[in-house]
């Protein structure tokens, strides 16, 4: 085993994964800016409230994507003072708008997702059954909390009359939210089934 080589391989894989995240985040930001100009905090807030059912990212990934978009001339910004603080508000350039539409027209590829919970299950054979049950119990409880929050958000949504001209935009955003909720429901059911198997020893 070559620790240096293994470490470099890990760094390379991590950089590729982060690069893919940045590319995906860059397109997401372009899409959000198609709607209106946003600060980085607006972008993060929108991610947390509307897009978290199927996509999540840290401030670091958002900042890296914004840097890439600025360097490519796809977005620009204006500075403003709000509550005594300087803020940068980002908006699309024509190049950015064209880039977004080009991405939207690309063939949709099958994208393998990263699922830390499923990765743990893959290696459950290395820990005892009591530890498996404890881990799954906590994970299922957290899934249910998130599911209830998403469902509550969906049920609280009202469409203002002045959004009538954006009916298609809203409809597909709601469809994406519904996907996230149904995916979460499936995940809860799947892990609950596995939990029963672990408790009964029939796995």
If the chain, 203 residues long, is cut into consecutive pieces of 10 residues, what is the mean pLDDT of each piece? Answer: 38 39 85 94 87 75 93 95 87 96 89 80 94 96 93 84 78 89 95 96 87
Q: What are phi and psi of 74, to 5 degrees?
A: -85, -25
pLDDT at 13: 33
Whether 79 and 87 have beta carbons less than 8 Å apart is answered as yes
pLDDT at residue 64, as a whole number: 92
Q: What span, in angstroms and rounded, lies between the C-alpha atoms of 39 and 34?
A: 13
- Count CA atoms within 13 Å of residue 139 on its CB side: 21
In this prediction, residue 20 carries a pLDDT of: 56
Tokens of 101: 């539409």
On the CB side of 30, CA atoms within 13 Å amount to: 27
User: What pLDDT sits at residue 81?
Assistant: 83
Give the pLDDT of residue 168.
86
Q: What pLDDT, on a 0 to 100 scale, did the predictor assign at position 114? A: 67
Helix 59-71, helix 3-35: angle, nearest 10: 70
CB neighbours of 55 closer than 8 A, spacing ≥ 6?
24, 28, 47
Residue 4: per-residue pLDDT:
37
Q: What's the confidence (pLDDT) of residue 125? A: 93
Q: How many CB atoms within 10 Å of residue 90?
A: 21
Cα–Cα distance between 57 and 15 in angstroms, integer?
15
């Amino acid at each position: 085993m070559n620790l240096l080589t293994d470490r470099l391989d890990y760094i390379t894989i991590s950089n590729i994964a982060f690069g893919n995240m940045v590319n995906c985040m860059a397109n997401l930001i372009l899409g959000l800016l198609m709607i209106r100009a946003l600060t980085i905090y607006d972008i993060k807030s929108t991610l947390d409230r509307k897009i978290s059912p199927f996509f999540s990212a840290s401030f670091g990934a958002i900042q890296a994507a914004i840097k890439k978009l600025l360097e490519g001339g796809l977005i620009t910004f204006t500075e403003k003072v709000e509550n005594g603080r300087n803020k940068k508000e980002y908006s699309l350039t024509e190049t950015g708008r064209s880039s977004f539409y080009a991405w939207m027209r690309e063939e949709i590829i099958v994208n393998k997702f990263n699922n830390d919970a499923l990765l743990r299950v893959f290696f459950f054979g290395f820990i005892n059954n009591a530890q498996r049950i404890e881990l799954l119990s906590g994970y299922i409880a957290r899934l249910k909390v998130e599911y209830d929050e998403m469902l509550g958000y969906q049920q609280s949504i009202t469409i203002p009359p002045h959004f009538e001209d954006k009916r298609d935009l809203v409809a597909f955003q709601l469809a994406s939210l519904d996907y996230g909720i149904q995916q979460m429901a499936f995940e809860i059911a799947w892990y609950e089934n596995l939990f029963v198997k672990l408790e009964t020893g029939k796995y």
